[in-house]
Structure 1
Amino acid sequence: MAYELHYWPSIPGRGEFVRLALEYAGVPYVDVVREDAGDGLGMPAMLHLLEDKSVRRPPFACPVLVDGKLVIGQTAAILLHLGPKLGLVGRSEADRLWTHQVQLTIADMVVEAHDTHHPIGSGLYYEDQEAEAKRRAEDFRKNRLTKFMAWFEAILERNPRNAEAAVPRLVGGSVSYADLSLFQLVDGLLYAFPKATKRVLKKAPKVAALHAGIARHRKLRDYFASERRLAFNQEGIFRRYPELDG
């Protein structure tokens, strides 16, 4: 049975972190909301999981993965479940927990990146909080972006399997779901803050190498060239406002 991924159809968002794992593994899955409504598909299917009172354990928000009878919300929880099934995490408990920790930290940074353009409230327009957004983005660029990237760089430097690797990995010597997620995070930051991110990546060469390596990976080549790979836009987590970059 194919996995079912439920996410908004017009943005990469948090769903893309899950989608990358499924695409890399080459397993069958249905991008439910992108399908026509009917036969249990389309937007009504996702809204049923989120809002219908018959769902005993409703997810708080999408992305949602349905795997048989399992209904799983939260990107990191979905990847924690998928990792062993897709061969995208080490076999030891230590490796699995460490990969999960890295994924949770990526999720933290995703939230901070989003809050640069919506620092007051997600229900307000950007224009209603532009002054606050500029202050938040300045702190993000000068402090948070540097701190997060330095941490990812340190992990890559301390992984002994990277000593002679052309493309470094976060955990062990194989691609993990955390590697795919770090790629997506960096890709989003390059879209939203091209100047600041390129500057920071000069001090994080292993992070830059990981990003470049995933971008050209043979297992993702067809996906990246397809319509399934959505472009970043002004409705998603990563948004480009030139006045917030620098």
Structure 2
Amino acid sequence: MPAEYKLIYHAGIPGRGEFARLFFEATGTPYEDTALTVGQDGVKPLFDGSFEHSDKNPLPFAPPALQHGEVVISQTPNILLYLATHIVSPIDLEAGGEEGEPASKKTKASPLSVDDPALFHALGFTLTILDLNNETHDSHHPVAVSDYYENQKDEAIRRATDFRKNRVPKFFKHFEDNLQRNSKGAFLLDSGASFADLALFQVVDGLKFAFPKLLAKLEPQYPKLFELYKTVKDAPRIKAYLESDRRQKYSMGIFRHYEELDEQD
């Protein structure tokens, strides 16, 4: 049987599609990833309006897009909100790494409700995390997204300097403070692991690739944040995913490593 969910995103980079992938992987939910099954041609129907069920859905501005039955939605936080309220299996960071494995019996098997404040608390965290995600991209493309890095390198160096000195520590302190407030566990919310924790893992992981010297310097200052990062990374399902061919490598997407933008010796 075909997977119930289809993720439509660019091929060759983790990008913004990675936030939905981590949700699928952490819940053991089968999904089709067009970046792997179709390649870059998979996003073309989004731009020319020829995607399946286009007569019932608005035209997306850009990938990622999620198809579920006749529903096609776009925008990363919107997709995560949809998945959280439709996928029955909870995010389980203790379950084994086999795809489709039932969730731990210790967790309640039901989607989040729009009446549950935790849903919107997780979304609020995720929106802030995605702000950091976007600022990371702008550290190497501060002038024009459509222009080459080499044509804005001087501006990128200035932007990255402020990003390293002021912006990353400000975001990290916000997450560390909230993790310190949670006396019940090591996650952003008292209710347990959420898609916000997965999103935070992804951005920290990308920053470790793009700014390895900076992250090595900051790690001792934010112990709860990096403990969460390790918890997600070592979770059996996530670990199996990260070691699989499904996890695409960082390259020329949001997270890029330019030595001149990182901490200087």
Q: Mark yes or no: TM-score above 0.5.
A: yes
Match of 1:160, SS?
A: coil
1:39 maps to which residue?
none
Give yes or no for contact 1:188–1:232 (8 Å, CA) kept in 2: yes
Instruction: Verify: 1:232 aligned to 2:230, yes or no.
Output: no
Q: CA RMSD of the aligned region, Å?
A: 1.7
Which amino acid in structure 2 is aligned with residue 61 of structure 1?
A
State the distance in 1 between where 2:188 and 2:237 align. 18
Deviation string, structure 1 residues 46-101 (Cα, Å, up to 9, x no partner): 32123217554011111111111111111111001111333248555311111000
Give yes or no for contact 2:66–2:73 (8 Å, CA) kept in 1: yes
Q: Structure 1 stretches of 5 or more lacking a match?
A: 37-41, 163-167
Which amino acid in structure 2 is aligned with residue 18 of structure 1?
A
> After superposition, where does 1:34-113 map in structure 2 within 5 Å?
34-36=36-38, 42-52=39-49, 55=55, 56-86=57-87, 87-88=90-91, 91=113, 92-113=115-136
**Cα distance, 1:217 vs structure 2:** 0.4
Deviation string, structure 1 residues 172-214 (Cα, Å, up to 9, x no partner): 2422111111001000001111111222222110000000111
**Cα distance, 1:22 vs structure 2:** 0.4
Q: Structure 2 stretches of 5 or more lacking a match?
A: 92-110
Give yes or no for contact 2:19–2:198 (8 Å, CA) kept in 1: yes
Instruction: Verify: 1:161 aligned to 2:158, yes or no.
Output: no
State the distance in 1 between where 2:25 and 2:211 align. 26
> After superposition, where does 1:1-246 map in structure 2 within 5 Å?
2-36=4-38, 42-52=39-49, 55=55, 56-86=57-87, 87-88=90-91, 91=113, 92-162=115-185, 168-233=186-251, 235-246=252-263
Which amino acid in structure 1 is aligned with residue 30 of structure 2?
P
Which amino acid in structure 2 is aligned with residue 8 of structure 1?
H
Higher mean C-alpha displacement, 25-34 vs 129-138: 25-34
2:108 maps to which residue?
none
Deviation string, structure 1 residues 92-115 (Cα, Å, up to 9, x no partner): 531111100001001111110000
**Cα distance, 1:150 vs structure 2:** 0.2
TM-score, with structure 2 as normaliser: 0.84
Match of 1:219, SS?
A: helix
Number of matched pairs: 235
State the distance in 2 between where 1:100 and 1:67 align. 20
Identity, % of aligned pairs?
Answer: 41
TM-score, with structure 1 as normaliser: 0.90
